[in-house]
Amino acid sequence: MRSVMGKRNSLKSGNTFIGGTVPFGYDVKGKKLVPNKGEVEVVRKIFEMYRDGNSTVQIKMYLDTKTLFKPKRSKDGWNLGTIQKMLGSTLYKGIQKWEWKEMVNGKEKIVETILIDTPQVVPTKLWDDVQLKLNENYRYRNTGHTHQSLLNGLIFCKSCGVKLSTVSKGTNPLYSCRSVEYKWKNPSKWSLKHHNCTLKKSLRIEETDEMILEHISSIIRESKRVREEYKLKNLGPKFEKVQDLKRESDKRIRYINDKKRIKEGYEESIINLEVDVLTNKMDKVKGKKMIRKISDMVGEVSKEIKRLEKELWLFQNSNDWVDWLDQMYMEIEGVQDYSLEEKQKFLKEYLNRIDVEYKPEIQSHEFHFEFVYPIVQDDILKKGKTTNGKRDYEVVDGSKTSSYTLKLDNGYKRKISIDKERELQDLIIDLRLNKLLSLNEVIKELNNRGFRTVTNKIWNKSNLSLYIKRKGFEVGKF
């Protein structure tokens, strides 16, 4: 605390340097920063290059190969982090910002901010132009440059230990190790790691997500622990308390019929609103808001109907082991049709992380899965019967880890001809716009007619929605 107070008082008394590394572009004389003539020219060159459209990588290459200057704390030349920090520093336009922080209720809080005038070495207009450029590039990096993916945050490079980034490369978004990026930002720390990185070949997001989801689903589907928890959750508590199954079943049927009537009323209201908008009986903006509101209500009622139908099924099939097991399988199979957010939630219930490496000798990626629970190849140990005559058994833990080798076609070689794909596209548009089929109906029709995806997969909600989005088809909202 005494050290902090001393620095604070020193700054308030007019000093501009209170210890630490001297900022590039300055020297220190009597606790004050003074411009270093040679370094100031380099600082201005950095700002001018960035303003003129050069990237931080290009600036780094210029500094390392065209000047004799090095940053104050590096023996390995300039890194991208230092350059980025300099470009955003107010110090070079004559303002040094110092914040005094304290812990308040367990959280760090700024209790005082001091602004100190320092020797300006970059003209105000040049500094402002660079800030505009930085903001523009930041917005670009955060809109469209990354790709929504199923395994984002779960998948890591096995050798480097860092989360894989998602990058767009033409029409094929990829999972990629960030050691390449970090190598430029901090060479002393990351050059060797990048050299030893075992993930030199990136993975196509679409194909990886699809295959990994199927693999994880198969492990979960076969787990005895998951089966037992599903049975207890969906059967045990309800049927221990319910004496009259028929009465409860009849009650669910009434609830379901009531909800279906409500849903039909909502849907009819939407149709009437759409007609009113088309015939100018209602303002378009208001009409769209009303339609959106009622559509959300339809969605909520549909979820409630689905929940009630599941309960009804349980009451009607309480004594049938095969039926509930089939139901569990159906739910897991249905994961393929979940939204991206729902799929991510499903995976995170069972997975801690995925480590991946590339094996050049077999031209394949090897995935190492770490599960939350020991469900890999777990088993059931039969112990006979209890005093009540019921089966007595216990679930024997399996492993929390497993590996999976996946040979991926990252070149995305098409498995159908261009003419066949044109026929596919025409059919999708016809089924949707002319025959007014729903998404599920379009999927069923495509699969029945023998059409497959461009990578020869069966159509489902996820890959058809993604295909339509990528091709930019105007087929209305499903």
pLDDT digits (tens, 9 = 90+) for 64-73: 878 888 777 6
Structural domain ending residue among the three candidates 215, 232, 254: 215
Q: Which has more pLDDT, 470 or 169?
A: 470
pLDDT band at 357 (very low <50, low <70, confident <90, very high): very high
d(CA 117, CA 115): 7
Least confident among 159-163, 394-398, 444-448: 394-398
Residue 242: pLDDT over 60? no
197 in the same domain as 113: no
Question: Is 51 within the bounds of a domain?
Answer: yes
Question: Is 370 within the bounds of a domain?
Answer: no
pLDDT band at 155 (very low <50, low <70, confident <90, very high): very high
Percent of the chain with pLDDT over 70: 74
Task: Give pLDDT, residue 53.
Answer: 87
- Domain of 90: which CATH number? 3.90.1750.20
8-state DSSP, 454: T
Residue 356: pLDDT over 70? yes
Residues found in the chain: 478
Q: Which domain does 176 fall in, by range?
A: 159-215
Question: Is 180 within the bounds of a domain?
Answer: yes
pLDDT band at 240 (very low <50, low <70, confident <90, very high): very low
Sequence letter at residue 454: V
169 in the same domain as 102: no
Q: Each residue of 142-151: pLDDT tens digit?
A: 444 456 789 9
Question: Is 249 within the bounds of a domain?
Answer: no
Task: Give pLDDT, residue 392.
Answer: 66
Q: Each residue of 96-123: pLDDT tens digit?
A: 877 777 766 666 777 777 788 889 999 9
64 in the same domain as 16: yes
Question: Is 111 within the bounds of a domain?
Answer: yes
Task: Give pLDDT, residue 93.
Answer: 92
Question: Is 332 within the bounds of a domain?
Answer: no
Q: How many domains does the chain have?
A: 3
115 in the same domain as 61: yes
60 in the same domain as 26: yes
Question: Is 133 within the bounds of a domain?
Answer: yes
Task: Give pLDDT, residue 370.
Answer: 93
d(CA 295, CA 39): 63
116 in the same domain as 20: yes
119 in the same domain as 12: yes
Q: Each residue of 281-315: pLDDT tens digit?
A: 888 888 888 888 888 888 888 988 988 887 777 66
10 in the same domain as 56: yes
Percent of the chain with pLDDT over 90: 12
d(CA 177, CA 159): 10
181 in the same domain as 134: no
Structural domain ending residue among the three candidates 140, 169, 192: 140
For the beta carbon of residue 242, count every other beta carbon within 10 angstroms.
Answer: 14
Task: Give pLDDT, residue 238.
Answer: 43
Task: Give pLDDT, residue 12.
Answer: 63
134 in the same domain as 12: yes
Q: Which of 86-95, 215-224, 429-438 has the highest mean pLDDT?
A: 86-95
Q: What is the DSSP track for 254-320?
A: HHHHHHHHHHHHHHHHHHHHHHHHHTTSS-HHHHHHHHHHHHHHHHHHHHHHHHHHHHHHHHHTTT-
19 in the same domain as 99: yes
88 in the same domain as 31: yes
Question: Is 402 within the bounds of a domain?
Answer: no
